[in-house]
């Protein structure tokens, strides 16, 4: 009777710094400005990762304590279940902040699309179009991840309510745990998709900058989920 926890880190965008150039004159430079502004807008997304992981770990510890108690210790079961429920609610708040950041970054990124049509060099334009496709796929993958994670948290919250029910049967509990584990299995798969498209987008962006002869240096934005 184990609740599945998540250990797949979410990848983030690369920050690239342009040097030796006057901003905003060429279409490629306009694209650069929007791309790197999008990276900055994802900073809140990166900042939510550690708090989410911390809440998950604390929640799992509470759950482990709860299932180790007998109904003779109902008061303690109720207390710990309520604490776990509060942590699940905290995770929902954090994931909403994460999504808001991703949405704002994508909104900024969409400013790139009409500028791509202005590109005259076919190779540069092709690289830019590939980059756009990868970001669109990444954004869709995140929406899937958000929806699945939100559903998984709701199942967790339902579990903590069930654990406070003195009439809860072992069969009912096991069935609900199976639903939770299936839900988090879907979350893990979506995280892997999101990471795949993030990596592919970062590579496509570097390829675009190289084709456009933009002199950039970059550093990776780390997450520790």
The domains of the chain, with CATH numbers, are 14-220 (1.20.120.570)
pLDDT (mean) for 115-138:
97
Residue 1 pLDDT more than 80? Answer: no
Residue 190 pLDDT more than 50? Answer: yes
H helix intervals, the chain: 27-41, 43-47, 49-67, 74-109, 112-116, 122-162, 170-211
Question: What's the pLDDT tens digit per position in 152-188?
Answer: 999 999 999 999 999 999 899 999 999 999 999 999 9
pLDDT (mean) for 1-8:
49
pLDDT (mean) for 119-133:
97
pLDDT (mean) for 186-209:
95
Determine phi and psi for 220, rounding to 5 degrees.
Answer: -85, 135
Question: What's the pLDDT tens digit per position in 28-76?
Answer: 999 999 999 999 999 999 999 999 999 999 999 999 999 899 888 999 9
pLDDT (mean) for 89-98:
96
DSSP state of 73: G
Question: Is-contact 55 90, C-beta < 8 A?
Answer: yes
């Amino acid at each position: 009777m184990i609740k599945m926890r998540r250990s797949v880190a979410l990848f983030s965008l690369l920050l690239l710094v342009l040097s030796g150039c006057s901003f905003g004159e060429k279409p490629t430079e306009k694209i650069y400005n929007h791309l790197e502004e999008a990276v900055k807008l994802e900073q809140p997304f990166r900042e939510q990762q550690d708090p989410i992981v911390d809440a998950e770990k604390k929640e799992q510890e509470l759950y482990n304590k709860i299932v180790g108690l007998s109904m003779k210790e109902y008061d303690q079961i109720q207390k710990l279940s309520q604490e776990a429920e509060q942590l699940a609610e905290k995770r929902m708040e954090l994931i909403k902040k994460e999504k808001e950041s991703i949405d704002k970054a994508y909104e900024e990124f969409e400013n790139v699309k009409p500028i791509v049509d202005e590109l005259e060099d076919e190779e540069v334009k092709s690289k830019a179009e590939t980059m756009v496709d990868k970001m669109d796929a990444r954004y869709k993958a995140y929406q899937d991840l958000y929806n699945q994670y939100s559903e998984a948290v709701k199942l967790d919250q339902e579990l903590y309510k069930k654990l406070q029910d003195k009439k809860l049967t072992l069969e009912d509990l096991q069935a609900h745990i199976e639903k939770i584990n299936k839900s988090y299995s879907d979350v893990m798969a979506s995280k892997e998709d999101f990471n795949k498209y993030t990596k592919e987008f970062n590579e496509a962006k570097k390829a675009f900058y190289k084709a456009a002869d933009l002199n950039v240096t970059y550093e990776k934005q780390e997450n520790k989920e």
